[in-house]
Amino acid sequence: MTFDRSIKIAPSILSADFANFGAECEAIEAQGADWVHVDVMDGHFVPNITFGPATCAAIRPHIKGVMDVHLMIAPVDPYIEAFAQAGADVITAHVEATPHIHRTMQAIRANGAKAGIALNPATPASSIEYLLDMVDLVCVMTVNPGFGGQKFIHSQVDKVRQLRAMIGDRPIHIEIDGGVDPTTAPLVANAGADVLVAGSAVFRGGSVSNPGPYGDNIRNIRTAAVSVET
Ligand code: DX5
Ligand code: ZN
């Protein structure tokens, strides 16, 4: 994985056909997705359950690019090795999921993956001030984690701007997760985000047998974001 700040669209397979993940990953990549975002939920840290490392390992051969695994689970440390072995390029854990998030970031890198740190909407940017030298990605949740299709929380745009200033020249991605569409993408791109996760706004209107709308949706988000990129 090489680092750059160009806009990257990362469709979340939370909005894909759960009976057809392999073909869905191939379809979104063929339609222009840069990364594939994989939402892991445990029914404990968040009020929903998705899937675990075995599913990640099964879809890995169907993804050519970056597999971006977002862990919404607590505890998180006992599972890092399994997700790294499943082929995750980026593993993101929540700052709220453990009192020892510094150790979690160390463990992700020690397992050979890029380390991501996610912040819930109520968590301030300052909470990760002392972690910036050990993370490769900061994920700003612009909805409460747990479900796709929720409304973008506008107060988070200011947090993105603060994080962008804190990050300075460090090679750290700022990822936005939740409610991203062609209307909200420019707000966060202008504030300094470079990875835009989108579930419902990418998968709506399309399917594996009719993937054209995936491409239209990805292009519309990218065009809106790139027009105001900082
Ligand atoms: C929310 C997940 C998101 C979600 C985004 O807990 O982390 O990745 O799937 O979905 P949309 O784009 O529909 O808000
Ligand atoms: Zn996510």
Tell me the CATH number at 34.
Answer: 3.20.20.70
Residue 92 falls inside a structural domain: yes
Q: Given this model, what pLDDT does residue 216 score?
A: 98
Q: What residues pack around ion ligand 2 (CB closer than 5 A)? A: 39, 70, 177
| Tokens of residue 57, six digits | 């390992």
Ligand nearest to C-alpha 179: 1
- Closest residue to atom 10 of ligand 1, CA basis: 148
Statement: residue 1 has pLDDT above 90: no
Q: Which of 68, 143, 152, 217 to mutate to test the pocket of ligand 1 (most atoms within 8 A of CB)?
A: 143
Is pTM beyond 0.75? Reply is yes
Q: Given this model, what pLDDT does residue 230 score?
A: 66
Q: What is the pLDDT of residues 173-223, one digit of tens each?
A: 999 999 999 999 999 999 999 999 999 999 999 999 999 999 999 999 999
How far does the centroid of ligand 2 lie from the alpha carbon of residue 169, in Å?
Answer: 25
Could you tell me which of 161, 157, 152, 158 has the C-alpha nearest to residue 199?
A: 152
Catalytic residues: 39, 177
Whether 198 is in the pocket of ligand 1, judged by its Cβ within 6 Å, is yes
Structural domain boundaries enclosing 36: 8-226
Atom of ligand 1 nearest to the CA of 41: 6
Q: CB-based contacts of 91: which residues, under 8 Å, 6+ apart? A: 69, 71, 80, 83, 84, 108, 111, 113, 114, 115, 116
Residue 3 falls inside a structural domain: no
Q: What is the pLDDT of residues 99-143, one digit of tens each?
A: 999 999 999 999 999 999 999 999 999 999 999 999 999 999 999
Whether 178 is in the pocket of ligand 1, judged by its Cβ within 6 Å, is yes
Q: Given this model, what pLDDT does residue 101 score?
A: 98
Could you tell me which of 5, 15, 113 has the C-alpha nearest to residue 60?
A: 113
Number of domains making up the chain: 1
Residue 2 falls inside a structural domain: no
d(Cα 49, Cα 66) in Å, to the nearest integer?
23
d(Cα 103, Cα 208) in Å, to the nearest integer?
40
Residue 24 falls inside a structural domain: yes
Residue 40 falls inside a structural domain: yes
Residue 12 falls inside a structural domain: yes
Q: Given this model, what pLDDT does residue 61 score?
A: 98
Q: DSSP strand E in 6-133: where?
A: 8-11, 35-41, 66-72, 90-94, 114-119
CB 68 within 8 A of CB 56: no
Edge to edge, the sheet with strand 35-41 lists: 8-11, 195-198, 173-177, 137-141, 114-119, 90-94, 66-72, 35-41
Whether 211 is in the pocket of ligand 1, judged by its Cβ within 6 Å, is no
Atom of ligand 1 nearest to the CA of 48: 6
How far does the centroid of ligand 1 lie from the alpha carbon of residue 179, in Å?
Answer: 7
d(Cα 69, Cα 84) in Å, to the nearest integer?
9
Residue 1 falls inside a structural domain: no
d(Cα 118, Cα 81) in Å, to the nearest integer?
19
Residue 85 falls inside a structural domain: yes
Q: Given this model, what pLDDT does residue 163 score?
A: 98
